[in-house]
Structure 1
Amino acid sequence: MRVTVLGGCGAWPTADQACSGYLVEDSGYRLLLDPGYAAFPRLLDHITAEEVDAVLVTHGHPDHCADLNPLLRARALIGSPPPALPVYAPEGALDAVLALDRPGMLAPALDRRDFVPGERLTIGPFAVETVALPHHVPNAGLRVTAGRSVLAYTGDTGPSHEIARLALHADVFLSEATYPYEVPAEDAASLLTARLAGRYATEAGVARLLLTHLWPGTDPEGALQAAAETYRGPIAVATTGLVVETSERETGSDPPGPSGSPHASGR
């Protein structure tokens, strides 16, 4: 599995960093996670709009789905449009972004596949377990498996015991980390700190932690230091252009999914 970070900035993009956007590839299949603000131009640094095989969205905030609009426009308005794009999202999450154009304009480009967090999905070579995680709007944490490689992604979330189960033994844990040490009281139930992301990574026994959704202007080194207080494995900040590749485990049984114990040995 290959994960390319298109962006990981929270709330709005900056001059050098798009909002959430992740290209996940395996066996020639290209799955786009969370095409947030400014993720589409960064996607075009790697592939064309027609080469995206499916889109999976965790929740309906625009810093996670706004660039679905230019992606669909690029597919719908070219001379020889590709087949309709399967787009998976929690029910109702895409209503606002799909309403940006006149009714029906993008319909030929879109194969809408709404789901309820908690459902399991099969998307190309990927088996996807979705878990409801707390946020201001319905949000689906994702456990994406291809072969024996596992990517766990929180979307945006507040504290939850479900996070460590979602990430159990994951090769890559892509975690919400808006603030290094403390979330403002009004958002404390809906967002995480880098330090808490590190704690969940330790509980889950993940192989690698990627911090994402940092508030614009946050010092990446400060976030890394906060996470390192609670997690001793490899840590990086999800920044535009970062590429992470996993290889299939050669020994041992399949890692258990979210129903397993979050405190089992990880590596």
Structure 2
Amino acid sequence: MVRITVLGGCGAWPAAGQACSGYLVEHEGFRVLIDPGYATLPRLLASTAAEEIDAVLVTHGHPDHCADLNPLLRARALGDAPPAALPVYAPPDALTAVLALDKARMLASSFRLYDLAPGRPYEIGPFRLDTWSLPHHVPNAGLRLTGGGRVVAYTGDTGPAPELAELARDADVLLAEATYPERVPDEDAPYLSSALDAGRTAARAGVARLVLTHLWPDTLPEPALAAAAKTYDGELAVATGGLTLEL
């Protein structure tokens, strides 16, 4: 069984009671943390110790997707029994800023950094990871995790791109950025998506379940769900802290 636990799904900054992007994916006792954004670590620690994370995947370097990597590494490096170095996968240079929050020697032994190269498959515990380069304000890697015959696809933050269909093809779950319900402002249209866009991608790709994430802070989920339902007739949800999916 593959289990997905949503730690947060708030875009840009954490709203009251909500964390930014963060997803825990588990299979065969292996735990992958995807996008440790603002305020995700306390939610993670409510159920999983920092040293129990086996790998971290980061789609891009915006802090609402990676800021809590710093306290996660602090918790591992400064604890009573520091675990082995944590494998961290991200686009090249995406984590330069967050890793510079502490002196290099303080956290050096707590992680091992790997660059994500689109088109190259990775074996991460019981998972196969495939990645695609998707358009955003900074380099962004779309992620497709396959394990136990199940597929979890995640867009990170992205504008329209033909690669999305391949990323999401026949996925059991698509976690799709949907910052706006129906229309992305012109200045952001090449770099962000709407719930309407996410529904269209899910329908074309034959996705079994669509989870909308990265909604603008303090917005209601109903407009996003209604917009996605215009183009997708499968199972729909909004990523909120505590949501758990078992595949």
**More helix per residue:** 2
Secondary structure in structure 2 of the residue aligned to 1:9: coil
How far apart in 2 are the matches of 1:69 and 1:109?
11
In structure 1, the partner of 2:45 is 44
Instruction: Work out whether residues 177 and 193 of structure 1, in 8 Å CA contact, stay in contact via their aligned partners in 2.
Output: yes
Instruction: Work out whether residues 90 and 117 of structure 1, in 8 Å CA contact, stay in contact via their aligned partners in 2.
Output: no
Q: Which amino acid aligns with 1:114?
A: D
- Deviation larger for 101-110 or 61-70: 101-110
Q: Which amino acid aligns with 1:222?
A: P
Say if 2:220 is the partner of 1:219: yes
Q: Which amino acid aligns with 2:183?
A: E
How far apart in 1 are the matches of 2:117 and 2:11?
24
In structure 2, the partner of 1:73 is 74
How far apart in 1 are the matches of 2:15 and 2:166?
33
Listed as ranges, the gaps of 5+ residues in structure 1 are: 247-267
Shift of 1:103: 2.3
Q: Which amino acid aligns with 2:75?
A: A
Secondary structure in structure 2 of the residue aligned to 1:157: coil
Secondary structure in structure 1 of the residue aligned to 2:114: strand
Secondary structure in structure 2 of the residue aligned to 1:96: helix
How far apart in 2 are the matches of 1:11 and 1:64?
9
Instruction: Work out whether residues 30 and 54 of structure 2, in 8 Å CA contact, stay in contact via their aligned partners in 1.
Output: yes
Q: Which amino acid aligns with 1:28?
A: G
Superposed CA deviations along residues 164-220 of structure 1, whole A, max 9, x for unmatched, are 111000000000100001111110000000011000000000100000000112210
Superposed CA deviations along residues 89-122 of structure 1, whole A, max 9, x for unmatched, are 1110010000000121100101111222332111
Secondary structure in structure 2 of the residue aligned to 1:107: helix
Shift of 1:13: 0.3
In structure 2, the partner of 1:261 is none
Shift of 1:151: 0.3
Superposed CA deviations along residues 192-250 of structure 1, whole A, max 9, x for unmatched, are 0001100000000010000000011221001000000000001000000000011xxxx
Listed as ranges, the gaps of 5+ residues in structure 2 are: none
In structure 2, the partner of 1:184 is 185
Instruction: Work out whether residues 4 and 243 of structure 1, in 8 Å CA contact, stay in contact via their aligned partners in 2.
Output: yes
Instruction: Work out whether residues 116 and 131 of structure 2, in 8 Å CA contact, stay in contact via their aligned partners in 1.
Output: no
How far apart in 2 are the matches of 1:164 and 1:218?
27
Q: Percent identity?
A: 67
In structure 2, the partner of 1:89 is 90
Instruction: Work out whether residues 134 and 142 of structure 2, in 8 Å CA contact, stay in contact via their aligned partners in 1.
Output: yes
Shift of 1:80: 1.3
Q: Which amino acid aligns with 1:204?
A: A
In structure 1, the partner of 2:6 is 5
Shift of 1:43: 0.4
How far apart in 1 are the matches of 2:122 and 2:38?
25
TM-score, normalised relative to structure 2? 0.98
In structure 1, the partner of 2:107 is 106
Superposed CA deviations along residues 102-154 of structure 1, whole A, max 9, x for unmatched, are 12110010111122233211110010000001000010001100021000100
How far apart in 2 are the matches of 1:115 and 1:173?
20
How far apart in 2 are the matches of 1:117 and 1:63?
22
- Deviation larger for 115-124 or 42-51: 115-124
In structure 1, the partner of 2:229 is 228
Report how many residues are paired.
Answer: 246
In structure 2, the partner of 1:15 is 16
How far apart in 2 are the matches of 1:184 and 1:128?
32
In structure 1, the partner of 2:194 is 193
How far apart in 2 are the matches of 1:29 and 1:80?
20
Superposed CA deviations along residues 52-74 of structure 1, whole A, max 9, x for unmatched, are 01101011100000000000000
How far apart in 1 are the matches of 2:99 and 2:91?
14
